[in-house]
């Protein structure tokens, strides 16, 4: 059954982009009915911009609103856990920004809460909704790409001290981590989305770019369970900003565009076939390919379909768990100068988080 779902958006920084780029292009699927932010000026400005009259400063007010189907949590990372658990308890569906939470224990609490609720949780991973990503996934799933050999994954962004003027950014407690958790999480998710889970890794982290608590440089050597190996790097000290993933398969080399953010643009991913026969197979496989709506618009559209049809969500808590498993292993590896095997289990010293260890 298809129906219009009513949304409350909480936190109107990136929450405003969810409205603009996610809900407005899907007007027949969603109605943004309520806005919530503790910052009254921001709340009022956003209410005026989108002609939404129901404005609240207190999150708890949303929990009792019976007509609200979805709470979209776009507040700073350190607040997500409590807000998600409260929404699930109230039977609401939740969409939540990255990084979802700060430990595997938190994710496991969330999985437990979701299993007892009528609500479901979708973490935001809008970079999956790029044409090149979906083309690559199709070629891999059809077996055309062949054996995966090696990948590189770069998130090289630029952040100055101004970016860290927001008090939650740059500290372990509120941001939950540094560039690995807050920036590289998107491109790294693409690595797992396209090549599958990580078997082991060795990580180095450093804080060199800004005067902050958390890391702003990271280099990780990764072994994937599919047998391929990968080099993952992240920094906020790159004057020339790049988000790039490169995947070397037996039959094709796949290279993403290098634009740093998930925004429309002309550049596309490059697929270099090993020979003419592979080129032909690729052409055939992609002949009827329809690009998904970009970014938030695509993810929200798939979310709506999954909720209405009671089918699996496009991005799940299990996906967020994979990102957190990776991050937990990176921080432990960096702290102990050791290689780490994944998955991290409940008896691991960082299962409950790493934030107090640095």
Positions that interact with ligand NAD (CB under 6 A): 10-14, 36-39, 42, 59, 74-77, 79, 97-98, 124, 126, 166, 182
- In the complex, minimum distance from the CB of residue 15 to ligand NAD, in angstroms, rounded to a whole number: 6
**From CA 283, how far away is CA 286, in angstroms rounded?**
5
Residue nearer to ligand NAD on the CB measure, 101 or 140: 101
Alpha carbon of 22 to those of 1, 166, 223, 316: distances in Å? 21, 25, 35, 18
Residue nearer to ligand NAD on the CB measure, 60 or 268: 60
Contacts of 155 (CB under 8 A, 6+ apart): 179, 183, 184, 186, 187, 188, 233, 234, 235, 242, 243
- In the complex, minimum distance from the CB of residue 34 to ligand NAD, in angstroms, rounded to a whole number: 12
Query: Of the candidates 5, 75, 91, which has an alpha carbon nearest to the alpha carbon of residue 83?
Result: 75
- In the complex, minimum distance from the CB of residue 308 to ligand NAD, in angstroms, rounded to a whole number: 24
Residue nearer to ligand NAD on the CB measure, 14 or 308: 14
- In the complex, minimum distance from the CB of residue 56 to ligand NAD, in angstroms, rounded to a whole number: 9
| Residue pair 138/193 in contact by the 8 Å Cβ criterion | no
Residue nearer to ligand NAD on the CB measure, 13 or 237: 13
- In the complex, minimum distance from the CB of residue 167 to ligand NAD, in angstroms, rounded to a whole number: 9
Residue nearer to ligand NAD on the CB measure, 228 or 324: 324
**From CA 72, how far away is CA 69, in angstroms rounded?**
10
- In the complex, minimum distance from the CB of residue 225 to ligand NAD, in angstroms, rounded to a whole number: 27
The beta-strand segments (E) located in the chain are 5-10, 30-36, 55-56, 70-73, 93-96, 121-123, 148-158, 198-206, 217-224, 229-235, 237-249, 252-255, 270-273, 340-341
Please provide the DSSP assignment of 205-230 as one string.
EE--SSS-SS-SEEEEEEEETTS-EE
Residue nearer to ligand NAD on the CB measure, 59 or 192: 59
Residue number of the CB closest to ligand NAD reads 13
Residue nearer to ligand NAD on the CB measure, 36 or 297: 36
**Which residue, chain included where needed, has tokens 């990255």?**
98
Residue nearer to ligand NAD on the CB measure, 15 or 119: 15
- In the complex, minimum distance from the CB of residue 164 to ligand NAD, in angstroms, rounded to a whole number: 12
- In the complex, minimum distance from the CB of residue 227 to ligand NAD, in angstroms, rounded to a whole number: 31
The three-state secondary structure class of 309 is helix
Query: Of the candidates 284, 355, 293, which has an alpha carbon nearest to the alpha carbon of residue 130?
Result: 293
Query: Of the candidates 301, 295, 313, which has an alpha carbon nearest to the alpha carbon of residue 26?
Result: 301
Exposure on the CB side of residue 189, measured as CA atoms within 13 A: 26
């Amino acid at each position: 059954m298809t129906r219009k779902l009513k949304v409350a958006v909480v936190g109107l920084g990136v929450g405003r982009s969810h409205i603009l780029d996610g809900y407005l292009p899907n007007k027949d699927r969603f109605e943004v009915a309520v806005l919530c932010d503790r910052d009254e000026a921001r709340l009022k400005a956003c209410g005026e911009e989108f002609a939404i009259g129901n404005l609240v400063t207190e999150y708890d007010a949303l929990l009792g609103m019976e007509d609200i189907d979805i709470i979209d949590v776009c507040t700073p990372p350190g607040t997500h856990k409590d807000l998600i658990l409260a929404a699930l308890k109230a039977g609401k569906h939740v969409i939540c920004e990255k990084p979802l939470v700060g430990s595997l224990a938190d994710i496991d609490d969330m999985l437990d809460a979701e299993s007892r609720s009528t609500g479901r949780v979708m973490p935001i991973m809008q970079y999956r909704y790029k044409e090149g990503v979906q083309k690559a996934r199709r070629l891999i799933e059809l077996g055309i790409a062949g054996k995966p050999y090696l990948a590189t994954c770069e998130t090289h962004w630029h952040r100055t001290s101004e970016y860290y003027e927001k008090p939650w950014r740059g500290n372990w407690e509120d941001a939950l981590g540094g560039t690995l958790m807050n920036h590289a999480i998107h491109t790294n998710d693409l690595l797992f989305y396209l090549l599958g889970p990580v078997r082991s890794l060795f990580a180095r982290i450093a804080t060199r770019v800004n005067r902050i608590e958390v890391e702003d440089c990271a280099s990780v050597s990764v072994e994937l369970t599919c047998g391929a190996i990968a080099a993952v790097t992240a920094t906020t000290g790159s004057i020339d900003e790049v988000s790039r993933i490169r995947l070397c398969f037996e039959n094709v080399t796949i290279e993403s565009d290098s634009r740093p953010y998930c925004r429309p643009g002309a550049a596309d991913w490059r697929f270099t076939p090993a020979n003419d026969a592979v080129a032909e197979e690729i052409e055939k496989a992609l002949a009827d390919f329809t690009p998904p709506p970009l970014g938030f618009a695509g993810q929200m559209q798939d979310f709506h379909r999954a909720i209405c049809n009671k089918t699996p969500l496009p991005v799940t808590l299990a996906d967020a768990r994979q990102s957190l498993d990776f991050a937990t292993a990176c921080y432990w590896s960096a702290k102990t100068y050791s290689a780490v095997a994944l998955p991290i289990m409940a008896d691991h010293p960082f299962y409950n988080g790493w934030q107090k260890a640095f």
